Amino acid sequence: MSEILHIPVDRELGERVSWLVDLRWLILGLAGVLGLVAGPWLGHILPLGTLWLVFGIAMGYNALLWVITRRLVSRLTPYASHTFLMHAQIIIDLVLLTSVLHLSGGLENPFSVYYMLPVVIGSVLVTRRASYAYATVATVLWVGLLLAEAWGLIPHYNLTGFRLPIRYREAAHIVAESFVLATANFGAAYLASSIVERLREGERQLYEANASCELRAGELAELNRRLQELDHTRSLFIRLVTHELRAPVAAIQSYLQLILQGYVPQDRLNEIIGKAEQRARDQLELIGDLLDLARLGEPKDLDKTELVDMAAVLHDVLDMMQARIQDRSQTLDVEVAPQLPCVVAQVEHVRQVWINLVSNAVKYTPEGGHITVRLYRDEEGLHGSVQDTGIGISPEEQEHIFESFYRTEAAKAMSRHGTGLGLSIVTGIMERYGGRMWLESELGKGSTFHFVLPVLEGSEAS
């Protein structure tokens, strides 16, 4: 059961070692008083000089332990050092107790039951194996003392008038005393260690439950924080969507009211209707982007994914954009590496990536500007980039450029039309398929938008 020992002994064994030293001071004090009383009472038949010498040794060794535990042993001392001090104290206590019993009557001394005190203390403070070791040492010391006195190996000090002088040699008494003390020691070790192990197991379970609760509390706090962030984001998103949806509708309503109330001259009628139609297109574009953004938040549908040739999709998008590029007198370079592998995605999502990035480059690059589109394989996967010589983005605005509805001041000044959702849609697509996106830009000199998507090995397009 050594694994149970670590709770709470690892945490408190240092204090228990000190506590045992303090307890020994009390016991030695009582023993000193008892020695002063017992000497005259027994008629000075005991070797008091030798007893006081043993008493002095016990006082000295306990003083040394007091210094070690109070001044030399800190809480940072390894656990093994505390264990060694505990074992040393109990073994020395048993040896000193045996010496005292020998000098005060041996088998005739009724205080032999005090062997159980160190055994019980050891059983409470350390492992069951150690408690059985203490019981064994106590029993061996006691039986050894009885046999050594009975065989005349060491002198026997008879308690004259208290016990018969030949009792210590009688086999029946020796066997009985040995049996009683041995069973008492091992019984006490078993009962004390069993109770303590149950307590330690209960405390270990309580400790683990408390640690689990703290962990759960931390997880719940983190979830609560994330929910609050999501709720704040949702509220902000709703406000932004409401504002963006209301503005075109309000403009269309104003134009229609001007027409219906006859405030628009006939020669400007087509102009006002055209503005209303443009606002309607803005509204439809915003709704379309919102639907695309919402679909990205849905669980990934593997049945709709397929092997997609990004180069082929890119060429389709560029063909669609060619007229706009020519209208703005822009030049376009396309660099596509041969034999590129495919990506696992939905074709429509890949199309949205290219449409948003290329259309942004066309929109925010002045007439006569230059656009470069690249697609190649690198160590991360399929790397695509769209570079322009447009308005560029300041470092402060780059931190927000991928947020929903965000448009830079320069972008608003250059083009009134735009939802501010294109880049957030592209970012969502990258995250959905395990890719990533980043930006390199300098204000007034242009921007380069990069993305990387993982590829399916052995899926080169034909």
- Cα–Cα distance, 352 to 362 (Å, whole number): 15
pLDDT at 257: 85
317 and 210 in a single domain? The answer is no
- Cα–Cα distance, 364 to 19 (Å, whole number): 80
104 and 9 in a single domain? The answer is yes
pLDDT per residue as tens digits for the range 289-322: 667 666 666 665 555 778 999 999 999 999 988 9
Report DSSP state, residue 342: P
Q: Is residue 349 part of a domain?
A: yes
Q: Which residues of the chain have pLDDT under 50?
A: 1-11
20 and 153 in a single domain? The answer is yes
pTM, rounded to two decimals: 0.47
173 and 24 in a single domain? The answer is yes
pLDDT at 332: 93
Which amino acid, one-letter code, is at 223? L
Q: What is the dihedral of CA 230, 235, 237, 238, to 10 degrees?
A: 140
32 and 169 in a single domain? The answer is yes
60 and 196 in a single domain? The answer is yes
Q: Is residue 389 part of a domain?
A: yes
pLDDT at 440: 93
pLDDT at 423: 87
Q: Is residue 227 part of a domain?
A: no
pLDDT at 435: 92
Q: Is residue 241 part of a domain?
A: no
Q: Which of 217, 252, 279 is the endpoint of a domain?
A: 217
Q: Which of 152, 184, 217 is the endpoint of a domain?
A: 217
Rg of the chain over all Cα atoms, to the nearest angstrom: 46
Q: Which of 219, 141, 212 is nearest to 181 (CA)?
A: 141
Give the structural domain span for 142: 2-217
67 and 160 in a single domain? The answer is yes
> Domain containing 346 — which CATH number?
3.30.565.10
190 and 310 in a single domain? The answer is no
The total domain count for the chain is 2
Which amino acid, one-letter code, is at 406? Y
- Cα–Cα distance, 459 to 309 (Å, whole number): 9
213 and 307 in a single domain? The answer is no
Burial of 368: CB neighbours in 10 Å, binned 0-12, 13-18, 19+: exposed
9 and 104 in a single domain? The answer is yes
211 and 310 in a single domain? The answer is no
pLDDT at 9: 44
* Cβ neighbours, 10 Å, residue 161: 8
12 and 130 in a single domain? The answer is yes
pLDDT at 121: 82
Q: Which of 199, 217, 235 is the endpoint of a domain?
A: 217
Q: Which of 281, 290, 420, 292 is nearest to 350 (CA)?
A: 292
